[in-house]
Every structure is written in C-alpha cells, then in structure tokens.
Structure 1
Amino acid sequence: MTTRRLLLSAAFAGTLASVLPAGASADTPAALVEKREFRFENYATRGGATIPVVRTGYQTAGRLNAAGDNAVLITHFFSGNSHAFGQLQAGGPPGWWDAIIGPGKPIDTERFFVVAADTMVNLNAADQFTTTTGPASVNPSTGRPWAMSFPVVSIRDFVEVQKRLLDSLGVKRLALVAGPSMGSLQAIEWTVAYPEMVERVMPAIGTGEMDAWMLGWLDLWAAPIRMDPNWRNGDYYAQGREPPLRGLTEALKLITLHSRDRGWAQQFGRRPVEGQDPARRIQDRFAIEQWMESTAAARAKQADANSLLYLTRANQLFLNEYPSSKAALARSRARWLVVPSRTDRVFPMEYSEELVKELKEAGRTVTLAPLSGGLGHLEGVAGMAQAAEPIRSFLAG
C-alpha cells in the first residue's frame, strides 16, 4: 500500500481531507472551490417536527446550463462533508473524490455543474469547513444547543434539504447523483423520492436495503457513547462540562476497523508497540491497537458525539417510508452504475449484488463495476479511480 493510501485510510475515520486521495498528485493541484452557505426557515421533518432554521454548507464547480439539466449532486459518507472535490484554499488538501471530479476527469466539471452539500447532523459540526444543523446547533427558541431535543431526521430529510438547495441554484434535473457509503443511501433515496428528476445514479459501497443485520451494526457503532458518564443523556454542551470523548473515541475505533479489511491490517502484523510486551503485561498493546486508539482519539476531538447518534439513526431510517426495498426501487426511472468493493465489511458485496438483481427484475438498466484492493469499505473513497472508465462510459450514454 502506498503512503498516500495509508494516510487516507486514517483520514476516513480520522482527519478528513488531510491527505491526497488515490489518483491525485501534489504536482497537479486540484482546482480552487468556494464553500458557501444555504439557509432556509421552518423545515418540516419527515417525522412531523419543525426545525426553525436549517443551515447547510455546499460547494460547486462548473456551470449550470440554461435548461438546468446538466447538474451532478455528490453526496457524502458517514464521517465526511461536502469537500468532495477541489481545494478550499490554495495549497490545501483536495476533496475525497477529487480523483474522479474535475476538468477532464470522469465527472467532468467542464461538462457538468457539480454540487456537493453537507448533511444535517453532520459529525464534523465543529469543523470550520462544515456547515450543518443538528444537536450541536443553537435552538433559537432557547438560546442553547438542541442536544437530544433535536428532532429525529432521516436520509430522506437529507434529500429534502438538498432539494431545496438545488431549487435555489436553478437545477431542474440531475444528470447524475452519486456518493459512497451513506452517500450511496442518499443517492438511492433521491432516485426513489424524485424519479422524474434523476437521469443516472451511482451508489458506491452501499446497499439497497437497511436490513436487521445492518441495523444491529449501527446500534453497536453508537453504543460506546451512551456508556460514557460524560454523555449525560446528551447534555454535555454547557460550559465546564467535559464532552464524552472516551465513548466517542471507542465508537470511532469500532467504525474505523469495520470500514477496513484484513488486507489493510497486514501492515501492522502482530508486532507490539515498541518497548511493550503484551505477553507479559496486560496493559501493553499491539501496534494496530495503538494506531486505532490514536487515530480515533484525534478524530473525536473534531467531532460531536450526539451528531454520531443522530447519524446512525438517519442511516437506520433509509427508505423507511416504503413497504419494502423492492417497492421503493421500482419507483426509480434512472440508469444505474453500482460500484461495490469486493473486500467491503460494512456493506458486503452481496448487498450490491442483491440491489442489481432487484433493479434488473424491475426492468432498470444497471451496470456493476466492482472495486478491488485491501482497503475494504474504504476502497469506495480512496480507490474510486479504479472506476474511472466505467464512469466515463456511464456518463457518455
């Protein structure tokens, strides 16, 4: 594995966008993009609550044509944000899918108007490059953070906020909606919620169904936070209170390892931390344990624990408004390019194979383009350059 891919592997659950993605080069800097804010009032959630003010960050590249139909929406993964392409500042890191988005790249910004937006309840609530509304935001009616009084939101709510953003930009039709992991859930929800608006959809490292097995995994991702005494049922924002960093770190350790495969872990072997001996002292650790701890602890300082809880619930509610995934997918009119990772442990490849089967049974045009490599789930972020030619062909049709 190259140093670049090793660092990005850490970035997926660690310092987002702090390194070059596969396919990028320091010698070919990404184009500069501007982070903007979209704001609107009185959003009615799918669950029936009202959020007085919604703020979301977004970035764009390319130009929208007169018909408003050359737009591409890029939706982000669980621990990500809208920095999917380009540089936010000169000399800064490129976005996580910069290898496939930009002038002359598979998603060509000389042809398409590309939009990427932050989700609500974004894990990176405290990051200067993320604009979001969620439990860490101030409730205008109280002047204090919402905490656990923030309404439950779903993947469909993410889509509805994006729809309002696209409407404000003049977008009439999406030539493509695409994203990895949680981004794939948003992309699929888009083509089901607004079938007349989506021409093509590209879910990467995703699934067409949130089944009981995945519901259970998401509960495990969130569990360590609730066990941290500093969580205080979500009431930790007051001055002088410590956030639940221990629980959040343990949650991120679990997500970090789940998002990878055995091939990635081979770099650590069975070696212990230098100067330690796990065979003699129970407190001593192996190298992979130290790596997970340091990576997750650093990431926890940049994240919000309550937002992670809300994100896991939003994922659990994927396509929850339909009687079945089959019924939901039958609504789509789009053409599909499904991009799984052969070594994925979060959404194993069988999920994508089942999705393709259901789409074909519904009479949809669908292509499967698997990714290879030892990074597991992370291949759908770090290894997307592998799919360059399938993406070009898909968008040429």
Structure 2
Amino acid sequence: MKNWIAGAFGAACMVVAGMAAAQDLMVEKKVFELPSFTTQGGRTLKNVKVGWESYGTLNADKSNAILICHFFSGNSHAAGKYDAKDAAPGYWDAIVGPGKAIDTNKYFVLSSDTLVNLNTGDPKTTTTGPASLDPDTGKPYALDFPVVTVGDFVNVQKALVESLGIRKLALVAGPSMGALQTWEWAASHPEMVAKAMPVIGAAEADAQLIAWLDVWAAPILVDPNWNKGAYYGGTPPNAGLAKALAVVTLQANHGDWTNGTFGRRPAKEGEEPTKALGNRFQVQSILDNAGEARAKVSDANHFLYLVKANQLFAAGGTSLANGASKIKAPVLLITQPKDLVFTADTIGRTVEGMKQGGVDISHITIQGSRGHLDGVISMKQAEGAIRAFLEK
C-alpha cells in the first residue's frame, strides 16, 4: 500500500491507470542534451540534460506530434512500459496508446522530464538541477543553481521538439504542473500550438496557492540536515522531505478518500490514540510511511526549486490577462470540482479570464473521490471529450 500512496502524483497514478490499460505499449527512455541553455533569469547553464520518451510514429511532414507535460512529482513516463515486467504503465496510459483517446496509431506523442525534476534517485529520470554537478567546479550546484521557471521547463521542451524537426504541435497537454506548462506553451509559443489541453491546473498561481506551496516546502527548511541546501556528500534532509511529500499527498487527495479509506482507525490494533501521545491514527501512519518511501528516491533541493517555479507561474510571464491575450489555440480545460490544489474558484477565474481575452475555451469536469488526483487516475472519464476535441 505504501508504494501507490507514496507518489501523490506518481506511483499511485501509475497503478490505477494501469488497471484501465487494454494493452501495453513498450517505450524506451532517451536523453536530450543542450550544450548551453540560458534561463529566463539570464543565467547560462552548460550541458543541460533531460530524459524523454515517445509513443507512435512521427509522420513525413511532422504534423502529428503531441507533447505531454508532467506533474510536480512525475517524470516523462506518461504511458506504456519500459519492460513487460514493470508493475504498472505510465500515469496517463488510460488515454494515451493505440486506439485510445490520444491515439498513438495516429499521433506521435512525446514527453520529457523537466529541469529540477524531483526524482533524482530514479534511474529512468534524467534532469539538471541543484543535485547535478556544475561542469565548472565538479561539485553539485546546490543553491548556486539558478531559479528556474515553468517558462524554462517549456523552453527546454521547445528545444527538444525543434531538434526533431517539429514546427507545430497538434496538441500540448498535461495535468497539474503539466497544465501550467500547457498554458505557458499556448501563451509563449502560440505559433507552435494547434490545440491545448490543460488538466487540473489554472493559468496563474494565485496567492492562496503560493502560500500552500510554502507549506509544502516548510518541513524541508526546518530539517537541520538541509543545511541551507549544502547537504550533498552528507546526510540529506529526508525527514523533512518525507513530511513535505506527505503534505503534498494529502492535498492532492480529498476527504472523500481519506474518510472512506481510513476513517478514525488506529495505526496499530490495540494502540488507541487516546491512550498515549505517540499512538497514531492509520491515516497519519500511511501518509508518513509513503512520504518516507518516496523521499529515498527524491531530492529536497529539487523539491524546493519546483515549489518556486510553481509559485512564480503566470501564463505568458506576467498575469492571467496577459496570458489570455496571447493564446491563439482552442483550449479544452479538464478539472475536478473537489480539487484542493487548484480549487473551483481558481479555475472559475481562469475560465472567465480566458473568455474575456477571446480564447476559444471549453471546460469539462470529471468526478471521483480523489480530488486533484482524479486528473491523473480518472482521465478515462474524459475520453469522449478528448477525442472530439482532437477531431474538431
């Protein structure tokens, strides 16, 4: 049980999505490298590397490409399996594959790891971030790594897409932080985006989300092993990171799930929480165990840099209104009304802002007991709407 809870947006998503998969699509992880990349903040990085994978075949005129952007704790593994023995396929396998809503018999679908990807301990993830070695010093960057933005994530993806000779994407899509990247693509590179499908994500990080992201980061910052980011070669702040991941998991879900799954049961039979301060409820134990498991393959500084990138986000770089004025592609926005990360009122402001900016936007909702996480594990509900949007 630990494994599928541990990834608030990760292993949990893959397992449940895998149940819906009719067949396994076999994929290979590759590495894309940029000898030099200049961030939006003006810092030039050498030898930037990100992992990527693809499904389907690029057609002769390279007009059938779709880009999938991943969520906060995810990576490029959107669909299929690396090996037939893998426990589960990629997180959106229910809608990406042969004959599925995003049909790989028709489209060439690609996805890449972001800069500062969380999963530094996963051999199938390649990323450049604070844990990477600075070519100039031979030591990890730590906090000398520059602040990066969602726009930087997109610009690395743009370089990857262009390296394949693709001039325009038939669709850009993704859930959560992947939705932020989708909005950014549509606003910053409108000439390259035919259609956009952001899922469970608004076009701007409002003050409430900025504050919540600070709560996500807080356990790391108070862990003494964090040492202002200089922990490489020593003891990593995994206790703080584990608690941070537990917070993410909780907010990514909904009370329908926690109450329905755990209720008020004690963590251990016979150890009632009323009897001792250290006696815990099952929901506490499960969340903490999951966070601890995930922390072992994650990096605390990368988590903090991802938090910062999400806090800084506004499509097009400045504001919702500015972003809306730049978007030319039709948009299909898919959300979950019980989402506790991108709440219904936040989504409502995005929809209204897009309409005022003249964007052709359609908005549909999906249901479930998981809240935000339904935008990853319950996407088959939107299959008909996605097909219709692509065919329109």
Give the TM-score, by structure 1 length.
Answer: 0.95
**Counterpart of 2:324?**
329
Tell me, yes or no, if structure 1 residue 142 matches structure 2 residue 134.
no
Runs of 4+ in 1 over 3 A off after TM superposition: 6-11, 13-18, 320-323
- 40, 51, 54: which one pairs with 1:46? 40
Counterpart of 1:260 in structure 2 is: 253
- Counterpart residue number, 2:275: 280
Q: How many pairs are equivalent?
A: 389
The residue that corresponds to 1:55 in the other structure is: 49
Show CA shifts across 1:113-171 (max 9, x none). 10000000000012101000000111111111111111110000000000000011111
Residue of 8, 12, 15 corresponding to 2:8: 12
**1:206 to 2:210 alignment:** no
1:162 maps onto 2:145 in alignment = no
Q: Which residue of 1 aligns with 2:310?
A: 315
Match of 1:85?
A: 79
**Alpha-carbon shift at residue 253 of structure 1 (Å):** 1.1
- Partner Cα distance (2:144, 2:317) in 1: 26
Superposition map of 1:226-241 within 5 A: 226-238=221-233, 241=234
The one of 230, 243, 250 equivalent to 2:243 is 250
Are 2:68 and 1:74 aligned? yes
Q: Which residue of 1 aligns with 2:103?
A: 108
User: Residue 184 of structure 2 aligns with which residue?
Assistant: 189
Distance 2:181 2:159 in 1: 15
Q: 1:388 to 1:15 in 2, by over 3 A?
A: closer
**Contact 1:17/1:83, CA 8 A, preserved across alignment:** no
Q: 1:350 aligns with which of 335, 345, 349?
A: 345
Give the Cα separation in 2 of the matches to 1:10 and 1:383. 18
Match of 1:361 in 2: 356
Pair 1:61–1:389, CA change in 2 (3 A): same
1:195 offset after TM fit, Å? Answer: 0.6
Q: Residues of 2 paired with 1:316 and 1:219: CA distance?
A: 9
- The one-letter amino acid of 2:52's match is Y
What SS does structure 2 have at the residue aligned with 1:288? helix
| Structure 2: runs of 5 or more not aligned | none
Deviation at 1:322, TM superposition (A): 3.8
1:394 corresponds to: 389
Q: CA deviation at 1:7?
A: 6.9
**CA separation in 2, counterparts of 1:57 and 1:288?**
35
Tell me which amino acid in the other structure corresponds to 1:300.
A
Distance across 1 between alignment mates of 2:70 and 2:337:
20
Q: TM-score, normalised by structure 2?
A: 0.96
SS in 1 for 2:336: coil
Please name the residue that 2:146 is paired with. 151
Q: Distance in 1 between matches of 2:336 and 2:225?
A: 37
Does the 8 Å contact 1:16/1:80 carry over to 2? Answer: no
SS of 1:115's equivalent in the other structure is: strand
Q: Measure how far apart 1:20 and its partner are.
A: 4.2
SS at match of 1:12: coil
Structure 2: how far apart are the matches of 1:37 and 1:17?
Answer: 24
Cα distance in 2 for residues equivalent to 1:13 and 1:98: 14
Instruction: Give the secondary-structure state (helix, strand or coil) at the position aligned to 1:29.
Output: coil
Q: Is the 8 A contact 1:339 1:368 kept in 2?
A: yes
Q: In 2, are the aligned partners of 1:20 and 1:94 still within 8 Å (CA)?
A: no
* 2:211 corresponds to: 216
Q: CA deviation at 1:42?
A: 1.6
The 1:364/1:218 distance shift into structure 2, 3 A limit, reads same
- Inter-partner Cα distance in structure 2 for 1:16 and 1:81: 13
Percent of aligned pairs with the same amino acid = 46
Tell me the C-alpha RMSD between the 2 structures: 1.6
